[in-house]
Structure 1
Amino acid sequence: MTEQEPIHRHFIIYKPYGVLSQFGSNDSKQQSKKFLGLLHDFPEGIMPIGRLDEKSEGLLLLTTDGKMSDFVNSQKVDKEYYAQVNGDITREAITQLSKGVEIGFDGKKYQTKPCKVFKLDAIPELPIRSQKIRDDRHGPTSWISIILNEGKFRQVRKMTSSVGFPTLRLVRVRVGNIHLSNMQVGDVVEVLDLI
């Protein structure tokens, strides 16, 4: 008799702004923080695939399958982000971002890999963020799409800052073939498979 493969569970969520991409902590410094467990009663052994920092929002995949997590985190799967940046981003800055820029990571300098970057023609239709972003009285903003297949800590924010256009809002809209589509902030959808 062969041993049966465990049945894994997978979820797609729209991580809200201000929620950490992890499950509870006993760390006293994090007692006031919000965790993913507030959104749904997830099964035991669930883990986020990659992370979105506390101030970032959008598509986050969760699974009980470690192999699936490793595959999605590998550099074979694209992740697309929409970033609202401070200022009217220039063609030069977009070219620099797409060729790769130097950012700080773990106390060292890191050269990001070439990626796809373009300016969005219109403001994307996204749910309103819970915390207000400064308005246009403080100067123009612009939206860009950045498609990466790596994911260092706060990478997109560090990249846009390095070319002089700090990120004001960051939303992950796609991982591989999975899109945020019409999901609303805090939505949790269980799916049969992720990839």
Structure 2
Amino acid sequence: MGKYRYLLFYKPYNVICQFTDDSPPAQTTRQTLKDYIAVANVYPVGRLDQDSEGLMLLTNHGTLQHRLIDPQFQHPRTYWVQVERIPDEAALQHLQQGVVIQGYRTRPAQVTRLVEEPPLPPRDPPIRYRKQVPTTWLEITLTEGRNRQVRRMTAAVGFPTLRLVRVQIANLSIAGLSPGQWRDLTATELQVLRRQCGW
């Protein structure tokens, strides 16, 4: 097992989920994983959009990567999501049961309204508030990871996402990391993850 690396990384806002920026040279240079992680030959398991923040797992272990990405294994991913306005019970139920986005019905999800704002560091730059429009934080747990899925789901029920932070992947949590920090998985975390992945 010594040849494998398993890293947890707290991706800041506005960082792209790859080690090189393949945008045209004329565009502004964007920050990449290389600006934060000086470990060779590890690759992200799944992705987070440039405008999303939070937990990423990187590894050079292909079997783990496949099992965490393949939808058939249905590994949970939990997000804290700040939305515009205050979703009612009907909207929450709609998200829980699955919504149609781009002709596809999402799998059932766990969705709860957070009573208090979660303990997150301020975003840089901050979201654009509209004084007359309240915001709400939701906790959403999915077992699939389609492109921009959370944003499309909340938009589909009429509550656009303002800020999106992934806080958990399977048994792995963002706790103890600050934006831009990474660490290796502990032996216990890896053991539990391996058991969950069935390998």
Taking structure 2 as the reference length, the TM-score comes to 0.88
Q: 1:93 aligns with which of 81, 91, 94?
A: 91
Q: State the partner residue of 2:197.
A: none
Which whole-Å CA distance do the structure 1 matches of 2:171 and 2:130 have between them? 34
Which whole-Å CA distance do the structure 1 matches of 2:132 and 2:39 have between them? 41
Local SS of the residue matching 1:88: coil
Gaps of 5+ in 1: none
Q: Contact (CA 8 Å) 1:103, 1:111: kept in 2 or not? A: yes
Equivalence map 1:33-182=2 (5 Å): 33-43=30-40, 45-74=41-70, 75-104=73-102, 109-135=103-129, 137-182=131-176
Q: Contact (CA 8 Å) 1:10, 1:192: kept in 2 or not? A: no
- CA deviations 1:38-90 (Å, max 9, x no partner) are 002012x2110000000000000000111111111233310000100000111
Local SS of the residue matching 2:9: strand
Q: State the partner residue of 2:3.
A: 7
Read off the aligned partner of 1:88 and give its amino acid letter: I
Gaps of 5+ in 2: 194-199
Read off the aligned partner of 1:141 and give its amino acid letter: T
Q: Contact (CA 8 Å) 1:116, 1:148: kept in 2 or not? A: yes
Which whole-Å CA distance do the structure 2 matches of 1:34 and 1:48 have between them? 15
Read off the aligned partner of 1:21 and give its amino acid letter: C
1:6 to partner: Cα distance: 6.7
Q: Contact (CA 8 Å) 1:25, 1:31: kept in 2 or not? A: no
Read off the aligned partner of 1:81 and give its amino acid letter: Y
Which whole-Å CA distance do the structure 2 matches of 1:140 and 1:173 have between them? 23
Which whole-Å CA distance do the structure 2 matches of 1:101 and 1:147 have between them? 14
Which whole-Å CA distance do the structure 2 matches of 1:140 and 1:27 have between them? 36
Q: Contact (CA 8 Å) 2:21, 2:30: kept in 1 or not? A: no
Local SS of the residue matching 2:82: strand
1:175 to partner: Cα distance: 0.4
Read off the aligned partner of 1:131 and give its amino acid letter: P
Read off the aligned partner of 2:164 and give its amino acid letter: L
1:132 to partner: Cα distance: 1.0
Local SS of the residue matching 1:92: helix
Q: Contact (CA 8 Å) 1:93, 1:163: kept in 2 or not? A: yes
Which whole-Å CA distance do the structure 2 matches of 1:28 and 1:136 have between them? 34
Q: State the partner residue of 2:29.
A: 32
Which whole-Å CA distance do the structure 1 matches of 2:107 and 2:74 have between them? 13
Read off the aligned partner of 1:60 and give its amino acid letter: M
The RMSD of aligned alpha carbons is 1.6
Runs of 4+ more than 4 Å apart: none
